[in-house]
Amino acid sequence: MTTNLTTINQFINKSVGEWKSIRSTHTLAFQEFENSTSKIYIKNINSKNKKVVEIFENYKLSINVENIAISIKWQAISDWEDDDIDEGDESILIFLPKDENSGIVLRNKGYTESVISSSNYFVDEQNNLHIKTFYKSTFSEERISFLSTHIRSRFSTIRNQENKSVIQTSHTSEIRNLASLKD
């Protein structure tokens, strides 16, 4: 790999912070469209964190493995909700690098199906992070790009495993909350 590529450590460090997210989701099977806004909080967490230890135990892996763990918390408001109820959740991602630009991600819950899951990831020549996850009946592909220091773009596709048909697509624009950097 070329030395100009962003490493996974650099990509994650650039991602840490508070973000405002604007997301459009297209569920093709039902011809439905959803808009949502979220606040997203991304932070590094210690490998000895209880939640990280649980994930390693679920995969029957030793914690001594070199890893990068992050917590992603969010509060979302969707235009599908009648009463503007905030929906929040948290996902723990553990990056296990094979090299500086690729490896495996372990999660406490998946992006598409809410079960523990693992993904393959790599950072490409344009410094985009690609994550591909296989579930029981679907698989998801996600690409995260920095458009500038404080603006990220995420594209995702969910497909049926059996016939590879596209079930859902989404695009998300994320803008860093600059006030949170002063804390």
State the first-to-last Cα distance of the chain, in angstroms, to the nearest integer. 37
Helices (H) and strands (E) in the chain, counts: 2, 10
pTM of the model: 0.89
CA distance 131 to 117: 12
CA distance 82 to 64: 47
Note the pLDDT tens digit of each residue in 62-93: 887 789 999 999 998 877 655 555 677 899 99
With vertex at residue 109, the alpha carbon angle to CA 103 and CA 115, rounded to the nearest 5 degrees, is 110
Name the band, by pLDDT with cuts 50, 70 and 90, for residue 1.
Answer: very low
